[in-house]
């Protein structure tokens, strides 16, 4: 889902308990329409549908899952169909590919192309997208010292989101032995 007021650096936050996800989707599609119109890109029915499917899932979507769905809807769909659409959406800055899990998520702040920074919950699979300038700065500084010029950042942090921590509290919670650290 998208943040209502851009929470400092959070472009896309974890899904809250209950929310009308259809609104997330339609908002994303509207933004996409606007962005493509603005930059003269063609958000064709196929591409739009793929974007809708990507947003439709709350968790990252696999290319072959999309393929299966498209195969049912249209009566033809081969891998290139979905991969081409995804390539377009990535280049348009509308979706991101998560290298660590070969899957795709809708971008929480489309428009300008940007490398994303992601928090991926291994419990529920949801993803938050950050834009933490401090992070890029720290990276750039480290790189600088080695004379390395940064072109693209892949930052994917796996862990457990707040909801999942609440529902499955770790053993030793509170002041027990294995808790700290």
Least distance (Å) between residue 176 CB and DNA: 27
- Of the two residues 79 and 159, which places its CB atom closer to a second copy in the complex? 159
Question: Which part of the chain contacts DNA (CB under 7 A), choosing from 27-35, 45-53, 114-122, 170-178?
Answer: 45-53
Closest distance of CB 91 from a second copy, Å = 16
Q: Is 150 in the site for a second copy (CB under 8 A)?
A: yes
Structural tokens at position 33: 């329409």
| Residue 100 binds DNA, judged by CB under 7 A | no
Report 152-171 residues binding a second copy (CB under 8 A).
Answer: 152-162, 165
Q: Which of 22, 26, 64, 150 binds DNA (CB under 7 A)?
A: 64
Q: How far apart are alpha carbons 8 and 132 in whole angstroms? A: 9
Contact 119, 159 (CB under 8 A): yes
| Cβ proximity to DNA, 74 vs 170, nearer residue | 74
| 10 vs 51, beta carbon nearer DNA | 51
83 binds a second copy (CB under 8 A): no
Identity of the residue, 61 or 121, whose beta carbon is nearer to Zn ion in the bound complex: 121
Please choose, from the candidates 50, 43, 45, 87, the residue with its C-alpha nearest in 3D space to the C-alpha of residue 66.
50
The alpha carbons of the chain give a radius of gyration, in whole angstroms, of 18
Neighbour order of strands in the sheet with 127-130 = 10-12, 127-130, 117-121
Among 23, 84, 137, 173, binds DNA (CB under 7 A): 84
Identified binder of DNA from the candidate list 19, 74, 137, 170, rule CB under 7 A = 74
Please name every residue paired with 95 in a beta bridge, in sequence order, or none if there are none.
Answer: 106
Q: CA 71, 75, 80, 81 torsion: positive or negative?
A: negative
Min. distance of Cβ 140 from a second copy in angstroms?
9
Q: How far is CA 6 from CA 10, 25, 36, 42, 161, in A?
A: 7, 17, 21, 27, 19
């Amino acid at each position: 889902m998208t943040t209502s007021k851009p929470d400092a650096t959070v472009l896309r936050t974890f899904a809250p308990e209950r929310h009308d996800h259809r609104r997330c989707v339609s908002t994303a599609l509207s933004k996409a329409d606007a962005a493509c119109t603005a930059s003269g890109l063609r958000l064709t029915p196929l591409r739009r549908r793929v974007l809708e499917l990507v947003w439709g899932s709350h968790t990252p979507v696999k290319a072959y899952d999309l393929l299966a769905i498209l195969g049912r809807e249209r009566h033809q769909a081969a891998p290139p169909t979905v991969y081409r659409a995804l390539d377009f959406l990535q280049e348009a800055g509308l979706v991101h590919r998560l290298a660590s899990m070969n899957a795709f998520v809708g971008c929480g702040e489309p428009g300008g192309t940007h490398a994303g920074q992601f928090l991926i919950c291994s419990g529920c699979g949801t993803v938050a997208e950050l834009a933490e300038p401090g992070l890029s700065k720290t990276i750039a500084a480290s790189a600088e010292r080695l004379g390395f010029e940064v072109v693209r950042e892949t930052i994917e942090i796996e862990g457990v989101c707040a909801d999942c921590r609440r529902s499955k509290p770790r053993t030793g919670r509170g002041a027990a032995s294995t808790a700290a650290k």
